[in-house]
């Protein structure tokens, strides 16, 4: 256990730096464009590619790890087949979404002006191809993680975030907001290249495509599809934020984005480090039937989350305005932008523990090959409770209703997941 915590600590340090660069990107957008039409366009354009990256990449990688630890066939062949599966899926989804660019943008983002739509479309076309590389990068990180190469996957995220923001800021004076589209694509290429080089150097497995179907490939999809739908429902928080915020005028989309990203920063650092190390171990222990270790991991993880995130929530809530001023209050991020962002951030902070705990508990469901129950809970909370709260509160609380919807639905999701895990597995 001590060795595992040391590994988590090392991964956490790298992830802190990586997440810092990712957050610096948000700070750079705020500094250069404030809560303007350009800022809204950047945030809007990145929503769908990021959705594919997190949902498709996350689902296929989680399923890969589960099958990898339980497969009875040759692991090298399974890696080749799963690589082919991930590659074909990523390319197919990305090509379809590029072909239907205009209908897709009009469907999800109806309130865009002509100028904002043109900018959003250009940014989207720059960013969308990166989805293929990001999905493959997530899968390659999974291959490295199941073989104990945790630092390489964390360093890849650091490289992606650092190059993304560095290129975007460097090229802004030449290309304007479209520099963020260029940064997204080049950053993804660098990340993918780094991970591929790491796999080659480690001499773990060949990535030569193998198109033959097998029982394990089918199992990969059986496990991945529920996880994909569950992840999609959770990521729809971000899509819902964009759609609802669009009704409040220029700047609200970016203000909601900045508030939610500032809220998610501490819990993302914690959860990325913990799940990177714990999930492969969980899958292994589940395969061995070691419920004692699984219960110990669950209890300790929940205790650490509570001890770290509850005080962080209190600090963020009571010092919301100075924090927003300190992080974003520079350049084009005016006093009006601060006043728009602070109330949203204050409410969003209340979701920190619940969102982190939901991610953490869900990993135990996945380790037990139970990916359907979290999907059902997510669908109920994101599309019923979340939207219901927004609808009921929007007239009285304005844009803050978006944040209240996230807080209340995340808390309800936590209760559902924790109670079911307690009854089903005595966790």
Domain ranges of the chain: 2-425
DSSP 359: H
**20-29, 120-129, 243-252 — most confident range:** 120-129
Q: What average pLDDT does the segment 59-65 reach?
A: 84
Percentage of the chain exceeding pLDDT 90: 41
What is the rounded average pLDDT of the residues 289-308? 83
Q: What is the pLDDT of residues 136-178, one digit of tens each?
A: 999 998 888 888 777 788 788 889 999 999 999 999 999 999 9
Backbone φ/ψ region at 109: left (φ over 0), alpha (ψ -120 to 50), beta: beta
Q: Is 148 left (phi over 0), alpha (psi -120 to 50) or beta?
A: left
Lowest mean pLDDT among 25-29, 30-34, 104-108, 169-173: 104-108
pLDDT digits (tens, 9 = 90+) for 346-375: 999 999 999 989 988 988 887 777 878 888
Per-residue tokens: 424: 């089903």
> Where does residue 94 rank: exposed (0-12), middle (13-18), buried (19+ CB within 10 A)?
buried
Q: 306 falls in which pLDDT band (50, 70, 90)? A: confident
User: 372-380 and 400-425 are packed helices; what angle lies between their axes, rounded to 10 degrees?
Assistant: 150
Contact between 57 and 135 under an 8 Å Cβ cutoff? The reply is: yes
Whether the pLDDT of residue 5 is over 60: the answer is: no
Question: DSSP string of 275-323?
Answer: HHHHHHHHHHHHHHT-HHHHHHHHHHHHHHHHHHHHHHHHHHHHTHHHH
Greater confidence, 223 or 231? 223
Q: Which of the pair, 398 or 294, is modelled with greater confidence?
A: 398
Give the pLDDT band (50/70/90) at residue 9. low
Q: What pLDDT is recorded for position 210?
A: 82
Q: What confidence score (pLDDT) does residue 275 get?
A: 60
Distance of CA 240 to the CA centre of its chain: 15
pLDDT at residue 8 greater than cutoff 60: no
Q: How far apart are CA 163 and CA 157, in angstroms?
A: 10
Burial code (b: 16+ CB inside 10 Å, e: under 16) for 29-44 equals: bbbbbbbbbbbbbbbb
pLDDT higher than threshold 70 for residue 237: yes
Decide if pLDDT at 119 tops 60. Answer: yes
Cα 191 from Cα 134, distance rounded (Å): 8
Residue 89's pLDDT is 92
pTM of the predicted model, to two decimals? 0.74
Percent of the chain with pLDDT over 70: 91
Banded pLDDT at 343 (limits 50, 70, 90): very high
Q: What does the DSSP 8-state code read for residue 426?
A: -
Per-residue model confidence (pLDDT) at position 96: 95
Summarize the confidence of residues 78-93 as an average pLDDT. 92
Confidence bin at 320 (pLDDT 50/70/90): very high
Pairwise CA distance, residues 349 & 333, whole Å: 21
At 106, the pLDDT band (50, 70, 90 cuts) reads confident
Which pair of tokens denotes residue 332?
A: 């084009």
Q: Is the pLDDT of residue 259 over 60?
A: yes
User: What is the average pLDDT score of the chain?
Assistant: 86
């Amino acid at each position: 256990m001590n060795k595992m915590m040391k590994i988590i600590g090392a991964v956490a340090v790298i992830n802190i730096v990586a997440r810092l660069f990712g957050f610096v990107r948000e700070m750079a957008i705020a500094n250069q464009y404030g809560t303007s039409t350009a800022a809204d366009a950047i945030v809007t354009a990145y929503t769908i590619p990021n959705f594919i990256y997190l949902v498709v990449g996350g689902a296929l990688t989680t399923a890969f790890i589960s099958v990898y630890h339980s497969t009875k066939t040759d692991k090298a062949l399974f890696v080749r087949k799963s690589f082919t599966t991930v590659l074909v899926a990523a390319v197919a989804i990305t090509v379809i979404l590029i072909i239907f660019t205009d209908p897709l943008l009009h469907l999800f983002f109806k309130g865009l002006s002509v100028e904002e739509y043109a900018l959003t479309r250009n940014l989207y076309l720059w960013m969308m191809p990166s989805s293929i590389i990001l999905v493959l990068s997530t899968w390659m990180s999974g291959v490295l993680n199941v073989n104990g190469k945790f630092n390489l996957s964390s360093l890849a995220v650091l490289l992606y975030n650092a190059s993304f923001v560095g290129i975007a800021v460097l090229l802004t004076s030449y290309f304007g907001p479209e520099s963020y589209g260029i940064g997204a694509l080049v950053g993804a290429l660098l990340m993918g290249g780094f991970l591929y080089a790491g796999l080659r150097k480690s001499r773990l497995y060949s990535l030569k495509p193998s198109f033959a179907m097998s029982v394990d490939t089918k199992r990969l999809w059986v496990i991945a599809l529920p996880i994909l739908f569950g992840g999609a429902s959770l990521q729809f928080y971000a899509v819902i934020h964009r759609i609802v915020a669009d009704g409040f005028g220029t700047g609200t989309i970016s203000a909601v984005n900045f508030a939610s990203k500032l809220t998610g920063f501490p819990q993302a650092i914690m959860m990325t480090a913990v799940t990177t190390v714990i999930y492969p171990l969980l899958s292994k222990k589940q395969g061995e039937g070691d419920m004692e270790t699984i219960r110990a991991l669950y209890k300790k993880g929940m205790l650490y989350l509570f001890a770290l995130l509850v005080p962080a929530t209190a600090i963020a809530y009571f010092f919301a305005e100075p924090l927003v001023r300190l992080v974003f209050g520079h350049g084009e991020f005016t006093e009006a932008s601060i006043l728009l962002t602070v109330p949203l951030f204050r409410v969003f902070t209340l979701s920190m523990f619940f969102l982190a705990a939901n991610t953490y508990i869900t990993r135990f469901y996945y380790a037990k090959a139970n990916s359907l129950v979290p999907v059902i809970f997510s669908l109920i909370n994101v599309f019923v409770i979340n939207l219901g709260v927004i609808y009921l509160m929007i007239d009285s609380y304005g844009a803050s209703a978006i944040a209240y919807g996230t807080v209340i639905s995340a808390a309800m999701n936590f209760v559902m997941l924790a109670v079911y895990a307690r009854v089903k597995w005595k966790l």
